[in-house]
Amino acid sequence: MREMKKKRGQDITLPMDAGKHDDSNVEWWYCFAFLNGDRGGRYALMTCFFRIGETSFLKGHYLIHSLIDLNRKVNHNYSAIDPSLTMQMAGFYLPLYLLLNPADSHIWKQEKMLLKGKLPALHQKLSGVKVTEGPTELIYGKNKMTFSGELEDSFEVTLSHPHYEAELGFTPEKPVALIGGQGKPGELYYYSHTRNRVYGEIRTEKGLESVIGYGWFDHQWGRGYSLAKGRGWNWFGLQLSDGRELLINEMTAGKNKTHSMMANLIEIDGSLQFTREVCFEKRSYWRSFETNASYPVTWNITIPDFGMELSVEAEFPKQEMPIIGPLRGIWEGAVKVSGIEILPGGGRKPISGRGFMELVGYAGHKQDVNNSHTS
C-alpha cells in the first residue's frame, strides 16, 4: 500500500509522488517522444492525462494526444473530456472565467452548449476513467498510462485514435529532475524525466510499425488558477544531441506581458543547473484558420548563465491542438533547435537537437503581430 501523501511544502519523493494528489485542483502527466520506425516512418508523439477538480472527492478528467508524421508533415489530434469535468466546466470554471472576462462571447456560447450536454467541435466524450495506485495507473477509456519499477519512473502508454494506435514503453536514462532545483518553480510541483529510451508499436493506415527512439516525461500538480485568469505560457522541452536537455519556460499574462522566466539545464549525469535569466525573442508567426490565433513558431532564446544562444523552429507550422474552455487551442508540436554555446575558455560549441514546444494562451485574445503566415 502506498504510504500517506506528504503535507504540502515537503520535497518530492518517488514513488509516493508518481500517483495522484487529491488535494490539488489541477494535475497532469505528460510525455512526448521522437520515434523511428522499421518501415521508414519518422514520428513525434505527445499525450497529456489531466485530472481536475476543487475537491478531493470530485475530479474531472481531460485527455489530449497527437501523432505527428514528420515525413509527411501532418498531425492527428485527439481531445476528450469526461462528464464530471464537463459538469465542472459548466458549473464552476467557465462561470468563474466569465466573471473576470464578461465580454468573451465565445465562452458564453460554449457555456450554453455545455449546459445543453453538447461538446465543442473536435472533442470526444471520455468514459471509463479510473485512476488507481499501487502501482499508479491512469485509465482514460481506451487510453492508458501504467507505471512500474521501484520508483514508478518507467511506464507504458497506450493511445487510441480513429487514425492511429500506439503502444509504447518509456524507461528513464537519468535520475529524476526536480524542476527549479527543488521541484516547485511556481505554483505547481514539477518533476521530469527528460531522457527516456522509448520502444513499441504504432499502427496507422499504412499498417503496423515497430518504433524506437527517445522521449520525455513531466508530472505537475498543485492548486492554481492561472488559466481562469487568462494566463498562459511558452514552454520548451529540448533534447540536445550531446545528451543534455533544456527545460525553458515563461509565463504570460495578457498581451505581450511575461514573467517567471526560467531555464533548467539537465547534464548528462542528471545534475541540474537553474537560472531565471532568460531572454525570449519571437521571430516569425503562423496564423490558425480554426482559432485565428497567431503563434510564434520560430524563436531566439538566450541564456547568459549557460552561455547559450538558441534558435528554435517548428518542424512545420500547423500543429495546433483544440482545447476546451477559454484557451480554445494551443500550439503543441515538434521543433528543432540549433545554436552555439560559449565555453568557459572562450571557445564556441555548436548546439543541435529537437524537442517539443507548447504555446498556451494565444487563441484567447487578440494579438498585434508582424510577419504572420496563414495556413
Question: Which range, of 213-222, 247-256, 343-352, averages the lowest pLDDT?
Answer: 247-256
> Stretch 63-79: mean pLDDT, rounded?
97
Contact 237, 265 (CB under 8 A): no
What is residue 230's predicted lDDT score, i.e. its pLDDT?
A: 66
16 beta partners: none
What is the rounded CA–CA span in Å between residue 32 and residue 132? Answer: 22
Highest averaged pLDDT of the listed ranges 104-118, 221-235, 294-308: 294-308
What digits encode the pLDDT tens for the residues 106-156?
999 999 999 999 999 899 999 999 999 999 999 999 999 999 999 999 999
- pLDDT-derived band of residue 205, with 50, 70 and 90 as boundaries? very high
Helix locations, the chain, DSSP H: 83-88, 94-100, 105-115
Domain residue extents for the chain: 14-82+126-224, 229-375
User: In terms of CATH, what superfamily is 229-375?
Assistant: AttH-like domain (2.40.370.10)
Q: What is the mean pLDDT of residues 333-354?
A: 96
Indicate whether 340 pLDDT > 80: yes
- Closest residue by Cα to residue 303 from 356, 241, 240: 240
Predicted confidence (pLDDT) at residue 324 exceeds the cutoff of 70? yes
Mean pLDDT of 287-303: 96
% of the chain with per-residue pLDDT over 70: 92
Q: Name the CATH superfamily, with its identifier, for domain 14-82+126-224.
A: AttH-like domain (2.40.370.10)
Mean pLDDT score across all residues of the chain:
93
Q: Residue 306: beta bridge partners? A: none
Q: What pLDDT was estimated at residue 368? A: 40
Task: Give the model's pLDDT for residue 132.
Answer: 96
pTM comes to: 0.94
Contact status, residue 31 vs residue 217, Cβ threshold 8 Å? yes
- In which band, very low, low, confident or very high, does the pLDDT at 11 lie, cut at 50, 70 and 90? confident
Average pLDDT over residues 348-365: 93
Residue 226: predicted pLDDT: 75
Two domains, one topology: 14-82+126-224 and 229-375 = yes
What is the Rg, in whole angstroms, of the alpha carbon atoms belonging to the chain?
Answer: 20
**What secondary structure letter does DSSP report for 56?**
S
pLDDT at residue 317 tops 60: yes
Lowest mean pLDDT among 84-98, 148-162, 215-229, 335-349: 215-229
What type of residue is 102? P
Listed range (116-120, 317-321, 362-366) with the worst mean pLDDT: 362-366
**100 pLDDT tier (thresholds 50, 70, 90):** confident
Give mean pLDDT, residues 165-186.
97
Q: Is the pLDDT of residue 3 over 90?
A: no
Which tops the pLDDT comparison, 228 or 137? Answer: 137
